[in-house]
Amino acid sequence: MSRPRRRLSMEEEEEEEGGEVLEYVGGVDISFSKKDSSVACGVLVVLDLHSLEVVYQDFSVVTLHVPYVPGFLAFREAPVLLQLLEKMKNKANPFYPQLLMVDGNGVLHPRGFGLACHLGVVANIPTIGVGKNLHHVDGLTLSGVKELLNATKNNGRDFASLIGHSGRTWGVAIRSTGDGLKPIFISIGHRISLDTAIQIVKMTCKYRVPEPIRQADIRSRDYLLKHQL
């Protein structure tokens, strides 16, 4: 599998796209049936970046045959989400996302290549990984991250860089709701810079989780419940 290309800043990304302004941001998530953990509902939503209103949604309910193996989430979930993106692209839908937020990690991963990287490379789309839990890689620990967040808060910042023992920057931890106790963990997936990822996450957070992912999560669970799957 190829590695993510060099990350671009927002300005570089717009220049690369011929001056295209970022308008539509997608979010993807998968929920599982409580009665049968092999039954999954994948959701793709697209939001208008400025209003944060959902302008597109699609669902895919499947039975997964790939078992859950820690660290290999992409091989279980990526095909479902890629199918939703491909379906939208094939129909030349005008709301096809210019950027995708993924409920999963990018380079902040034991192998440096999480679900957000996988989707970005295969679909050739800029991606941001948004994790709710921290992967303990390269010496990073949750207690250490919380100490960093408390220190940066005193300096007027709402995020802390996740720098491992090797000196590598894996991403950032953000308290997106200000005084929220639980941070989220942002890492680059594909074709984006970390600075731009932070900027877009802040623009799309009404609550703890960025709105594209929050809406995908709500709608996938609601779909399963309504259809009794």
pLDDT, one tens digit per residue, over 52-102 is 999 999 999 999 999 888 888 899 999 999 999 999 999 999 999 999 999
Per-residue pLDDT tens digits for 1-16: 444 443 444 544 454 4
64 found inside a domain: yes
72 found inside a domain: yes
CATH number at residue 219: 3.30.2170.10
Tell me which residue of 153, 142, 133 sits closest to 73, measured CA to CA: 133
Domains identified in the chain, total number: 1
Classify residue 219 as left (phi > 0), alpha (psi -120 to 50) or beta.
alpha
4 found inside a domain: no
pTM tops 0.85, yes or no: yes
138 found inside a domain: yes
Confirm if 54 and 217 have CB atoms less than 8 A apart.
Answer: no
23 found inside a domain: yes
- What's the confidence (pLDDT) of residue 20? 80
5 found inside a domain: no
Confirm if 57 and 43 have CB atoms less than 8 A apart.
Answer: yes
Range of the domain at 137: 10-226
Confirm if 170 and 144 have CB atoms less than 8 A apart.
Answer: no
- What is the length of the chain? 229
3 found inside a domain: no
